[in-house]
Amino acid sequence: MILDFLNSSDGRNRLRIRGFEDIRDGIIEEGKKLEERVRDTCIIVVLLGAGGRGIERRREIARKLEENGILVLIPEDDFAPDVAPSLTEEAVLERADVDLIFVNVESWGSVVEFVQFHDKELIAPKLKVLTLYKYHPLYGSSKSYLTDLYLTHLAKYGHVYAYDDGKGSVFPTSEKIIVTLSLRYKQLKALGKI
């Protein structure tokens, strides 16, 4: 910082601190670099869930994530069709370069995916479980075996999210949960915090 005395129009000397503009410009430039780093950071997200309407919803979410520079894999679209899904999914999900795995438990198949992966050492920490709020162990009243397993996963890994895809609910939609968490994860990875 440099201090200058300036003569004002009334003839009095005034003190001006040069350098504030340089500091401000430097901060703005650093912000632009951070934005660019986030934009250039790649994360891989896998979306598991039901077929039918469920796969269409996952494809819509994938498009939104891809618009934000996130690579999305949907097993039905992206994994080897000639190899058993239960084998292919496990092999792919265990890879270190897969960052986040979301399973929306809304069908028997997605229940099996959750049960298969909920405690696998290389998969479970990345596994984010979405369940309809009424089956969530803290918000719902279900006493089922599956809800009990959600509680175990929640206690151990902290990643069981209650959602409601209906309108006017206090719970977020499954899409909002997936997009919000994925974008924040990408920012954290870009800043070296993950």
Over the stretch 23-63, which tens digit does the pLDDT of each residue have? 777 788 887 877 888 888 899 999 999 888 889 999 999 99
Q: CA 136 to CA 129: how far, in whole Å?
A: 10
Q: Which residues pair with 4 in a beta bridge?
A: 16
- Do both 7 and 66 map to the same domain? no
Q: CA 24 to CA 9: how far, in whole Å?
A: 27
- Do both 105 and 24 map to the same domain? no
Structure tokens at 167: 């309108």
- Do both 65 and 103 map to the same domain? yes
- Do both 47 and 10 map to the same domain? no
Q: CA 120 to CA 117: how far, in whole Å?
A: 5
- Do both 26 and 112 map to the same domain? no
Q: Which of helix, strand or coil describes residue 73?
A: strand
- For 61-106, the pLDDT digits (tens) are 999 999 999 999 999 999 888 888 889 999 999 988 999 999 999 9
- The range of the structural domain enclosing residue 185 comes to 41-190
- pTM of the prediction? 0.83
- For 90-148, the pLDDT digits (tens) are 999 998 899 999 999 999 999 999 999 999 999 999 999 999 999 999 999 999 999 99
Query: What is the domain count for the chain?
Result: 2
- Do both 115 and 183 map to the same domain? yes
Structure tokens at 5: 């005395």
Helix 145-157 and helix 108-117, axial crossing angle in degrees, nearest 10: 40
- Do both 59 and 13 map to the same domain? no
- Do both 30 and 60 map to the same domain? no
Q: Burial code of 75-105, b = ≥16 C-beta within 10 A, e = fewer? A: beeebeeeeeeeebbbebbeeeebbbbbbbb
13-18 and 2-7 as β-strands: parallel, antiparallel, unpaired?
A: antiparallel
- Do both 16 and 61 map to the same domain? no
Structure tokens at 118: 């909920």
- Do both 48 and 120 map to the same domain? yes
CATH of the domain at 186: 3.40.50.2300
- Do both 75 and 149 map to the same domain? yes
How large is the C-alpha radius of gyration of the chain? 24
CA dihedral (194, 149, 103, 81) positive or negative: positive
- Do both 7 and 49 map to the same domain? no
Structure tokens at 103: 């399973």
